[in-house]
Amino acid sequence: MATFEVSGFSELNQALSRVSDVPEEIKREILTAMGEEALAAVREAGEAAGIRSADPEAKHVLDALSLSKVKFNDNGGSVLVTFKGSRKDAKHGKRTRQAAVAFYNEYGTKHQRARPFMRPGIERRRQQIYEAGEKVYHRWLKSSF
């Protein structure tokens, strides 16, 4: 844990302003670490829910998981766990976006029971996701003070 030693208000003020001024590359690293942990959580939950297709020809939705670039805005930053690309449906010959396949699994349809894996995956590993970000933050804090 980081500690601060200050002898007066101006030093305290200076120390706190340095903490609030986390460099962009560190913010990017924090969000990426959290995103990677979230992606792993979703993949693990998907495997556990048995959503991997038996069709060896189809690129599977869990293999389409990817992390977007970090974006910054006025509210901070974000990184998205997404499903990239599409796959050919062996039965109908049509292409379906992997994101749609993920949605059908998460929420189900009239004929297919939902097999939620995104929300449960994230909830199961919420603590580890925060910790992945904290680890980067504390490493930076330690090296900065």
Partner 1 sequence: MSMDSLVREALLPLVPIVEPHSYDGEELEYITFQSTILPEVHADGHPGALRHLLQVHWFLPRRVNPNAKKRAIAEELWAAGLTYPSITDASDEEGQHYVFECEGAENGDV
Please report, as ranges, the residues that interact with partner 1 according to CB under 8 A: 103, 107-110, 113-114, 116, 119-120, 123-124
Name the residue nearer to partner 1 (CB basis): 91 or 113.
Answer: 113
CA-CA distance, 54 to 114, in Å (whole number)?
18
- Helices 126-144 & 24-49, crossing angle to 10 degrees? 160
Q: How far is the CB of 32 from partner 1 (least distance, A)?
A: 26
Given its phi and psi angles, is residue 128 left (phi above 0), alpha (psi -120 to 50 degrees) or beta?
A: alpha
For residue 105, with 0-12 CB atoms within 10 Å meaning exposed, 13-18 middle and 19 or more buried, which class applies?
Answer: buried
Yes or no: say if 76 and 20 are a contact pair by the CB < 8 Å rule: no
Name the residue nearer to partner 1 (CB basis): 25 or 89.
Answer: 89
Q: How far is the CB of 53 from partner 1 (least distance, A)?
A: 20
Name the residue nearer to partner 1 (CB basis): 29 or 105.
Answer: 105
Q: How far is the CB of 3 from partner 1 (least distance, A)?
A: 27
Q: How far is the CB of 121 from partner 1 (least distance, A)?
A: 10
